[in-house]
Amino acid sequence: MSSNRELGDPYELVVVGAGPAGLAAATAAAGLGINTVLLDEQSSLGGQIYRAIEETPLADPAVLGKSYGRGRLLVRSFVASGARHIPGASVWHVAEGQGGCLTVGLSVGSAAHMIEARRVILATGALERPFPIPGWTLPGVLAAGGAQTLLKSAAIVPAGYVVLAGTGPLLWLFAAQMLRAGGRITAFLDTASVENRRAALAHLPGFLASSYFREGLDLMRAVRRGAQVVRGVKALVAHGTERLSEVAFRRLGSTEERIPADILLLHQGVVPDLNLAAAAGCKLTWDERQLAFLPVTDRWGASSVEGIAIAGDGAGIMGSEAAAERGRLAALDAACRLGRITQSDRDRKAAPVAKALARATRGRAFLDALFRPTRAFRVPEGETIVCRCEEVTARQVRESAAFGCPGPNQLKAFLRAGMGPCQGRMCGLTVSALLAEARGVTMGEIGYFRLRPPVKPLTLSELAALPATPAAMEAVGR
Amino acid sequence: MKREESEFAVIGGGLVGAAIAWGLARLGKQVAMLDEGDIAWRASRGNFALVWVQSKGLGMPAYAAWTRRSSDGWAAFADALGEETAIDVAFRRPGGFALCLSEAELEARAAAMHRLHNQPDMIPYPYEVVHRERLRALLPAIGPEVAGGIFSPLDGHCNSLRLLRALHAGLQRRGGKYLSEHVVDRIEQRQGMFALATSAGEVRAARVVLAAGNGNARLAPMVGLAAPVRPQRGQVIVTERVEPFLHHPMLSVRQTDEGTVMIGSSTEEVGFDDHVGAPVLAAMAARAIRIFPCLGRLNVVRTWAALRVMSPDGFPIYSQSMTHAGAFLATCHSGVTLAANHALVLPPMLEAGSLGTELAAFGGKRFDVSAHG
Amino acid sequence: MFRRTVESTAATISLVVDGNEVRARAGESLAAALLAEGLLSFRRSAVSGVPRGPWCLMGACFECLVTIDGARQRACMIRAVDGMHIETGEGRRRLLP
């Protein structure tokens, strides 16, 4: 395959994703003398958590909170590290290449390229968990994380009647950020089950010792002061015809209440963005605590595919501080496997990183338990749309299960769920949950969609411009 | 473990197995269809959905006739399936094209069609060579390199995923049993009954039909048959949905009833490997754009690869066991085209206990080297 | 509805959205620019034709597809550029004139 001179190919290490894990990994690798490139879809560094960190138009970035500011150090260290950064690069494929190398397919400025790398670290981060309620496809209903991105990158806030609903640290954080930025919240509908608190208590000591404790309490207090918080919400419906007009909800033991709404922001936690890892063949496993599929990784982030490591939230949700440490561990392991440092060097250098990682993950178990999304919002009923792209409903999935559909891949064939442009990102977990429940098996047993490249879109022309070998031309005779 | 017992056990829940099983159930038979789990070498989930006649049967006129018969029966088959399941499998038979990108390609294809139709015992069917000028009136989107093509009014297409779902639904509506996660390890015949040892317990049946695609190679010897099939990889690209622009199916490009454009038609001998490869996808994309330049700006939504079930001569195998009475085998790489036959023609033969003379040419014995000695 | 929290610090640029001139800030995403203009519905579903608007704003959901200078793109992944022509409200694309 021809090398991509303008892209500096080949590399010893390709890092995918410029959030905390990718930034730290690339910085550490370059510091160890490894020829490294960092690829990221966005035009600037920081990932979603530190989105627009160096360029936010907010008059006072302090509204985003203290933790947002931490991104600046990561970005600046990376810029000084000597690693190359290719912005606006979406990676749609990672596969075994020649001579033990990996081939990375990427698209930059409407042109596809294949570059070679000896090792790859995937730092693809997290996605918001699907939140399938009736009406969630109406214009005006958005993911809360999406609204947060708008605040960071464009300094715009939701306006009019704004309802926030769901659970999870991000939802509370965004509510506080929005209030500080001058936004107004009509209602905050908390969908966490009251039983969560009892389950979380067991993990309280770790939480008290964590950095989340103080920050979290302040935040929730600020939200309660600035918005009407409705607890124990059991059911939610977004109403409207061409766009959202009303939100209906029900609390435990009460009748339905309705409030007018212009914007509804939904959120119930984040899960690993694993499409690229899964399409590359990395094994997945079900994690009951996080209620998510995670790629199988060792303590260095190494996946089941030789040469591919996964760092940060893409390998399991632990938060942004832990992500940076996990990026550093993956970089150390890459250096070792590239023969740049010995194993004992690696282990010695890793010791303080591991310690920092342990500190950063304190309190996670508490958060996972406290904000655990309830079944009602993960396993929808009736005509609720599950797959937004192909408009497949919960009822249809259940019917397929009833006539023997054994899993998500046969379901995809039967109903097209997961076949649209988002490639299952918005429905994969819901489909697996519905099938597992209907068939009476575990999530681990039912499994996940089999994913294929390209995991990010490219045009047919881009694909056609890639080099085709003589064997490939021969294979396509007619 | 519980034990299942039925008149027929059909091994394989893909298009071939499901069509046969549904057809048997329609005849009032008790049928159990055994299938693997969610992850399987499932050619039926990866095919191109053509109901294709032109170009088939060079080297075996009986195959041309069998294909033609299925194509002619497809509309009635789709109607019957639709009536029973309320699933529209979107069968259309507007006639199809094989487009050529040079005069040489067109001549070679026309010559092959000529040879096909000049075979002894060949029952001819309509087709024509269409040159560029006329083609442009029929297909305004073609690119400047398209020299012409072969048109046959018999060619059509359908929605093959909905076909698979409809057959599964139809089978169960008729009382057939669908046994997923039943991988067959062993088949034995005892006192006139077949005992199938599976990963989920034993299944017993008076008759057994092997329709397990590439799995038939392993299963056939258990009942004294041979199915020397091998996997042949084909890759497919699918684009975003667009307004209808292509009203005829083609060998390598077609627009689905849902609006997506499928690009296909690669062949690779790589064994049991169903990964996609960028070089082949690139070559497929390039060829599709040469045929229809307007496709270039469409977004690719998915790609996949699947394994065809290929016999040594490329033709189907239908056989019945001489050593194990009541055991049959059906295998082909045209599970969509031949679905009408598999659902409506084959089951009465299976019920009668003997494959008809129409299928005499398709026996697995034709690959037996010693038979030609 | 969305509103801007700060007076313009970045250069003001102009876009052509469905034939109308729309002001935006240099550097922001097209999705942000359109939302700030009060647009919530960006396209129609290619399946049923119902209106759809942005959901994730990070390139994952493909809900904010618009046609930019003839190409179908995710509005959240494209920076607004002066003079850009954008079509919204489309379902399936038309390949033939």
Q: Do A452 and B299 touch (CB under 8 A)?
A: no
Q: Which of C5, C40, C62 sits opposite A421 (nearest CB)?
A: C62
Residues of B within 8 A of A431 (CB-CB) are none
How far is Cα A327 from Cα A319, in angstroms, rounded to an integer?
12
Q: Is the Cβ of B288 closer than 8 Å to some Cβ of chain A? A: yes
Residue A5 has what pLDDT?
A: 62
Q: Strand C65-68 and strand C71-74: pairing?
A: antiparallel
C-beta atoms of C60 and A149 within 8 A: no
Asked if A468 and A103 touch (Cβ cutoff 8 Å), the reply is: no
> Which stretches of C1-97 are DSSP H helices?
30-36
CB A373 within 8 A of CB A191: yes
pLDDT bracket for residue C70 (50, 70, 90)? confident
pLDDT in tens, A266-321: 999 999 999 999 999 999 999 999 999 999 999 999 999 999 999 999 999 999 99
Helix %, strand %, coil % of chain B (to 5): 35, 25, 40
* CATH of residue C40: 3.10.20.440
- Mean pLDDT value of segment A165-180: 96
Homologous superfamily, domain B230-310: D-Amino Acid Oxidase, subunit A, domain 2 (3.30.9.10)
A-contacting chains (≥3 CB pairs under 8 Å): B, C
Query: In the predicted model, is pLDDT for residue A8 greater than 60?
Result: yes
Which residues are A286's β-sheet partners?
A293
Closest by CA position to A34, among listed A347, A330, A355, A343: A330
**C-alpha to C-alpha distances, C20 to C12, C15, C17, C32, C68, nearest whole angstrom:** 16, 8, 5, 17, 14
Chain C neighbours, 3+ Cβ pairs < 8 A: A, B
Name the residue facing C72 among B140, B240, B259 (closest C-beta): B240
C-alpha to C-alpha distance for C87 and A95, rounded to whole angstroms? 36
Average pLDDT along chain B, 373 residues, taken 10 residues at a time: 82 97 98 92 87 94 96 98 97 97 96 94 93 94 96 97 96 96 95 94 97 96 96 94 95 95 91 88 95 95 92 96 96 96 98 94 85 41
pLDDT range class, residue A4, cuts 50, 70, 90: low
Q: How confident is the model at residue A81 (pLDDT cuts 50, 70, 90)?
A: very high
- pLDDT for position C83: 95
Angle between helices A211-226 and A169-180 (to 10 degrees): 60
Distant-in-sequence, close-in-space partners of A386: CB < 8 Å, separation ≥ 6:
A132, A380, A392, A393, A394, A397, A417, A427, A430, A431, A434
> For residue B373, what pLDDT is reported?
33
Residues A418 and A435: beta-carbon distance below 8 Å? no
User: What spatial distance separates the first Cα and last Cα of chain A, rounded to whole Å?
Assistant: 24
Instruction: Please compute Rg for chain C using Cα positions.
Output: 13
Residue C2 lies in a domain: no
List the single residue in A with minimal CA-CA distance to B101: A478
Contact call for A453 and B168, based on CB within 8 A = no
Q: Per-residue pLDDT for A477 more than 80?
A: no
Distance between CA atoms of B78 and B101, rounded to whole angstroms?
34
Number of domains in chain C: 1
Q: Determine the Cα–Cα distance for residues A330 and A309; give it in Å rounded to an integer.
A: 7
CB contact C6 to A (< 8 Å): yes
Q: Where are the domains of chain B?
A: 3-50+161-228+313-367, 96-153, 230-310
Q: Is residue C45 part of a domain?
A: yes
Q: Which residues of B touch C93 (CB under 8 A)?
A: 240, 242-243, 298
Q: Return the H-helix or E-strand segment holding C50.
A: none
The mean of the pLDDT values for chain A is 94
Do B213 and B309 meet the contact criterion of CB atoms below 8 Å apart?
yes
Contact residues on chain C for A159, CB-CB shorter than 8 A: 1-3
Instruction: Give the model's confidence band at C8: pLDDT under 50 very low, under 70 low, under 90 confident, else very high.
Output: low
A468·B280 Cβ contact <8 A: yes
Partner-chain residue, chosen from B161, B178, B285, that has the shortest CB–CB distance to A414: B161
pLDDT, position B232:
93
Is C34 part of a structural domain of the chain? yes
Confidence of residue A478 (pLDDT cuts 50, 70, 90): low
Q: Is residue C95 part of a domain?
A: no
Q: What is the DSSP pairing of strand B31-34 with strand B230-239?
A: unpaired
Provide the chain B residues 226-245 that lie in CB contact (below 8 A) with chain A.
237, 239-240
Residue B153 has what pLDDT? Answer: 97
Question: Radius of gyration of chain B from Cα atoms?
Answer: 21
Does residue C96 lie within any of the structural domains?
Answer: no
* C1 occurs within a structural domain: no
User: Min CA distance, B119 vs chain C (Å)?
Assistant: 41
Would you say residue C94 lies in a domain? no
Pairs of CB atoms within 8 A across A/B: 144
Q: Given CB atoms, is B201 within the 8 Å cutoff of chain C? A: no
Indicate whether A257 pLDDT > 90: yes
Instruction: Give A60-65 contacts, CB < 8 A, sequence gap 24+.
Output: A62/A180, A63/A177, A63/A180, A63/A181, A64/A151, A64/A152, A64/A177, A65/A173, A65/A176, A65/A177, A65/A215, A65/A219
A-contacting residues in B 67-106 (Cβ below 8 Å): 98
B210 sits in which H/E element: strand B201-210
Distance between C40 CA and the closest CA of chain B, angstroms: 22
- Architecture of the B3-50+161-228+313-367 domain: 3-Layer(bba) Sandwich (3.50)
Question: Given the structure tokens 């019917």, which residue do they identify?
Answer: A399
Q: What is the C-alpha to C-alpha distance for residues B6 and A13, in angstroms, rounded to an integer?
A: 58
Query: In this complex, is the C-beta atom of B108 within 8 Å of any C-beta atom belonging to chain A?
Result: no
Interchain contact, A478 vs B98, CB within 8 Å:
yes
The CB density around residue B79, as the number of other CB atoms within 10 Å, is 12
